[in-house]
Amino acid sequence: MSTNQSLWYLENIDVSGLFCPKKVDRGDLDMHSQKMFKKGEYIYLPEEHADRIFFLTTGRVKVGTYSESGKEITKAILNTGEVFGELSLIGEDRRRDFAYAMEDTHTCILTVNEMKSLMRDHTALSLFLMKIMGSRVLEMEQRLESLVFKDSRTRIIEFVKELAAKKGQRVGYEMLVRKFMTHQEIANLTATSRQTVTTVLNELRNKNILTFNRRRLLIRDMELLEKEAQL
């Protein structure tokens, strides 16, 4: 992910340095809890007390919820450098979703009071968090509109295109996304089936628009991908 595409460097704020200070002489190291979660471990569950904000330093985390029938609904898959559990800042005292470690994951954990203190000391941090919350609301609205108005193929292609735009790294004329998602994860995020995701991605690969494996996605031509979404 390029720096200018990322929220994680806003107005020269070193968010990692604020959330996970590494120097004892800063005097705030003991205020921050750092915890490792093993693959498959829940970080928090619905209805748990919400008094912590998490900064993801390594690993991947799935945030989701459960329907009344018990079906799992994926809301987001987060990578290194992202913040989650932030709704506790706006008065949510119980979790509405779950957070699950998709691989061995390391987090820095701040209490609500600690985060509010940092926000008072670093005014641009408030804008940073507002942008996080705003962007996630916008993403959920876009996903809902896509679910209502677009077919499965279009939803999958647009998801891949947006993934590249947000988390891709330009390599020459191509766009590289490291740690590509599984077909099932994409299906969960686009409300489609794993088989449909596999069919669409293989179709795009056969057209030489992209190539992929379990570790990465390489989009050879973003313009052609955009045209495929309009078919």
* pTM for this entry: 0.75
Q: For residue 160, with 0-12 CB atoms within 10 Å meaning exposed, 13-18 middle and 19 or more buried, which class applies?
A: buried
Query: Per the structure, how many domains does the chain have?
Result: 2
pLDDT of the residue at 22: 57
Whether 16 and 82 map to the same domain: the answer is yes
Average pLDDT for 14-25: 61
- Domain range for 122: 3-136
Q: Are 183 and 159 members of one domain?
A: yes
Closest CA to 76 of 93, 91, 92, 60: 60
In a domain, 141, yes or no: no
Q: Which residues contact 121 (CB under 8 A, 6 or more apart)?
A: none
Pairing of the two strands 42-44 and 98-101: antiparallel
The pLDDT tens digits for 136-154 are: 888 888 888 888 889 999 9
* Between residues 56 and 28, the one the model is more confident about: 56
Convert the pLDDT of each residue in 108-145 to its tens digit.
Answer: 898 888 888 888 887 777 877 888 888 888 888 888 88
- The DSSP code sequence of 72-126 is EEEEEEE-TT-EE-GGGGGT--B-SSEEEESSSEEEEEEEHHHHHHHHHH-HHHH
| CATH number of the domain within which 89 lies | 2.60.120.10
In a domain, 142, yes or no: no
pLDDT of residue 70: 81
The secondary structure of residue 24, as a DSSP letter, is G
91 and 179 belong to one structural domain: no
